[in-house]
Structure formats: C-alpha cells, structure tokens
C-alpha cells in the first residue's frame, strides 16, 4: 500500500460529465489530501498501519511554528483519493505499466476500509469516486508532501 500525503489548506474533487460540465463531489478545508494506491497483496494489516500512521503524523505547526501537531490535533479533515497510478512501473519504455496495481474488485473495498479506519482515528474523511476520471484540486500548504509505503 502506498500513500502520498499532502498537508493542504483545502482540497476538492470534481467529476466532469460527458457534456464537459464539472461537478464538485467532495471537498475539505485544512487537513490532508491522501492519494492512496493499493497493491494486489495489500489487506487489513497494511490499511491499519498506514491509517494510524497518517492520522498521527505530526506535520502541522504548533504555536511556536514547529511541526508538532497531527491532523487530529488541529481538528482537520482528510480527502482520500484512490490512485492506482502510484503502482506505475516505468522501467521499460515510455508508457507506464500498471500490472502491479490491485484489481478494482480488490482495491475498492480496501479504499473504503481505509476511510473507515481514518474515521476511527478521529479524522473526518471524505472520498473521491473510485474508478472515475477526477479533477483533484490541491492547495498544498508548505508545500508539505510525504510518501509512505507499507508492504
């Protein structure tokens, strides 16, 4: 399981319908945008580990400006976006291969479970739409971006 965690001032997910109209389906204020990739061997253990780690990750500033606070501490939110492209293999040629990403029937329930686990850790969590072509607006704060992985 792989996650790109971004500290944000705000984040938003939109879908674009066939007519070209954009519709916002999810959004947050201050908190985290989490791009989550699921591998074929990932399961409950990886989800529990990363959800707990992310919920407690101290990347927000305290009164002295030091990164001592978690998203829980600041009362922030999370926006979780499934991102199979985190498993891209670019070693051969110029077109990425995604054979290392989990199949949708394995990944989709695990993304939902990951959101539940974040909520259990007191992080209000909203989702993108699994399998959809999305426009993701990220107002990265810092910028602060962290790559995390649990195999």
Question: What are the structure tokens assigned to 118, written together?
Answer: 């974040």
12: exposed, middle or buried (Cβ count in 10 Å: 0-12, 13-18, 19+): buried
Note if 83 is an active site residue.
Answer: yes
Q: Going by DSSP bridges, is the β-strand pair 22-28/2-16 parallel, antiparallel, or unpaired? A: antiparallel
Q: Name the catalytic one among 6, 46, 60, 83.
A: 83
Active site residue 6: no
Check if 84 is active-site.
yes
Distance of alpha carbon 27 from alpha carbon 127, whole angstroms? 9
Q: Which of 60, 84, 114, 125 is catalytic?
A: 84
Catalytic residues: 83-85
């Amino acid at each position: 399981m792989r996650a790109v965690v971004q500290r944000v001032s705000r984040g938003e997910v939109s879908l674009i319908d066939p007519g070209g109209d954009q519709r916002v389906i999810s959004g947050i204020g201050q908190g985290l945008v989490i791009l989550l990739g699921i591998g074929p061997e990932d399961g409950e253990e990886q989800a529990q580990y990363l959800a707990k780690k992310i919920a407690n990750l101290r990347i927000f500033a305290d009164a002295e400006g030091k990164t001592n606070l978690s998203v829980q501490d600041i009362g922030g939110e999370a926006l979780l976006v499934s991102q199979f492209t985190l498993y891209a293999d670019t070693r051969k040629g110029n077109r990425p291969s995604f054979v290392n990403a989990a199949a949708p029937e394995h990944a989709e329930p695990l993304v939902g479970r990951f959101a539940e686990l974040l909520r259990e850790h007191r992080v209000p969590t909203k989702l993108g739409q699994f399998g959809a072509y999305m426009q993701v607006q990220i107002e990265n704060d810092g910028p602060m971006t962290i790559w995390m992985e649990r195999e």
